[in-house]
Amino acid sequence: MDYDASGRQVNEHDSAKKQAGEPINDPNSDPNMGFFEQLGQFFRRNMYLFLIVGFALLLLQDVFGTHGVLAMRQSQKEAQGIRKDISRLDEENQRLQNRVKALKTDPSAIERIAREEMKLSRQGEYIFQTHPKPANELQNPSPHSDDSTKKP
């Protein structure tokens, strides 16, 4: 068997025709071949290329697609954050339920809230409130207090 420039096998009869200048009956170059026959031969010749390209496209879809690996990791991070929020809210809910239970059953808790939040007092009891000095007076003492203690 002989091979032509494109690497295809050429039998001895075709190579003799080629040297004589006669047309060779190549099934791939037959002008009378139908469209679908040519299309079928094209797909058979390039089957591995199509398989590789198809596999690469599927791989890209699996990694970067809407349900791919990256989207799955993002969803897992969001789910973990939501689980943390749920546990924090469960703890806060438990704390508030304990407070409600104490307010329903514990008189000292009721009295504490009445004194601290509503500023109530018992009969005959006086409440004195003191207000702290503003922060700027504590940091910068007035110059007049130092002058009165010093004598020239």
Residue 65: inside a domain, yes or no?
Answer: yes
36 and 72 together in one domain: no
Cβ distance 62 to 70 under 8 Å? no
Cβ distance 52 to 46 under 8 Å? no
**pLDDT truncated to tens, each residue of the chain (152 aa)?**
566 665 566 566 555 555 665 555 555 556 677 888 888 899 899 999 999 999 999 999 988 888 889 999 999 999 999 999 999 999 999 999 999 999 899 888 888 888 888 888 888 888 777 888 887 776 766 556 555 555 54
Residue 141: inside a domain, yes or no?
Answer: no
Q: Is the overall model pTM greater than 0.75, yes or no?
A: no
User: What's the CA gap between 89 and 124, in Å, rounded?
Assistant: 43
38 and 65 together in one domain: no
108 and 80 together in one domain: yes
Residue 135: inside a domain, yes or no?
Answer: no
Cβ distance 134 to 140 under 8 Å? no
Residue 57 lies in domain: 48-118
